[in-house]
Amino acid sequence: MLLLSLYWTFTKIGLFTIGGGYAMIPLMEAEMINRSGWLTAAEFLDIVAVAEMTPGPVAVNAATFIGYRLAGVPGSLLATLGVITPSLVILLLLGRFLMGVIQNPRSERFFKGLRPALIALILTAAFSLGQEALVDLATILIFAGLLLLSLVRRVNPLYLIGLGALLGLILYPY
C-alpha cells in the first residue's frame, strides 16, 4: 500500500510541477510533511539540498531519495516512475491533442492565473520551511546574504549551495 501511495503521490507531484523544479516544492511539502507526516521539514530541506547537489533533474533526484527513505529500492523506483509518468503520458500519448489545448486562448488565460498561484505557493513554502531552517542569527544571515546574491547577481544555484555548505562549516555552533 505504501508503494502504491508513493507512486500516486509522486504522479500528482509530477502533474502539477509546471514551469520547472521549484513548483514541486510546495506540493512535496504538502504531501510529504503536512498530509502524510512521512518527513520532517528538516529532513525535507536536507533532501532538497542533496537533490540540488547531485546530477540530474532536481524533481527526479528528490523523488528517488524520498522513495528510498520510505520504502527502500522499490520505493525509490516507484516514486521516480510516478514523477515521470505525467511527462511521458502527456508527450508520448496525448502530444498533438494537448498542444491544441495549450495554445487555445482560454488555456492561456488559465495559465496566466496559474502563475500568480505558483508564486504565492512557492513563497508560502519558503515561509514555512524557513521557520525550520532559520534557527539563529547565523542561519538568518546565511539566508539573507544568499538571497541577496541570488536576486542581485543571479548567481548559479550550485554556487549558492556550495557557499551555504562552507558558511555552515564556519558558523556552526560546535
Partner 1 sequence: MQPEETAQVQQVSLLTIFLVFLKVGAFTIGGGYAMLPVIQREVVHRKKWLDQSVFLDSLIVTQSIPGPLALNNAIIIGQRLRGFSGGLIAALGVITPPILVILAVASFLFPYFRHNIYVQAVFYGLRPAVVALITAAALNLARELLRGWGSAILTAVLLAASLLFEIHPIAIMLGGGLIGLVIFWKWKV
Q: Which of residues 88-107 bind partner 1 (CB under 8 A)?
A: 88, 90-92, 95, 98-99, 102, 106
CB 59 within 8 A of CB 22: no
140 binds partner 1, rule: CB under 8 A: yes
State which of positions 31-90 bind partner 1 (CB under 8 A).
34-35, 42, 45-46, 48-61, 64-65, 68-69, 73, 76-77, 80, 83-84, 86-88, 90
110 binds partner 1, rule: CB under 8 A: yes
Of 4, 18, 40, 100, which lies in the binding site for partner 1, with binding defined by CB under 8 A?
18
Residues 6+ apart with CB under 8 A from 50: 61, 65
In the bound state with partner 1, the residue whose beta carbon lies nearer, of 4 and 35, is 35
Alpha carbons 156 and 174: distance in angstroms, whole number: 29
CA angle 25, 64, 67 (to 5 degrees): 90
In the bound state with partner 1, the residue whose beta carbon lies nearer, of 4 and 158, is 158
Tell me the closest approach of the beta carbon of residue 61 to partner 1, in angstroms.
Answer: 5
Kindly state the helix (H) or strand (E) to which residue 6 belongs, with its residue range. Answer: helix 2-15
120 binds partner 1, rule: CB under 8 A: yes
CB 13 within 8 A of CB 24: yes
Tell me the closest approach of the beta carbon of residue 135 to partner 1, in angstroms.
Answer: 8
2 binds partner 1, rule: CB under 8 A: no
Counting other chains too, the contacts that 140-145 makes at CB distance below 8 Å and 24 or more residues apart are 141/171, 142/167, 142/168, 142/171
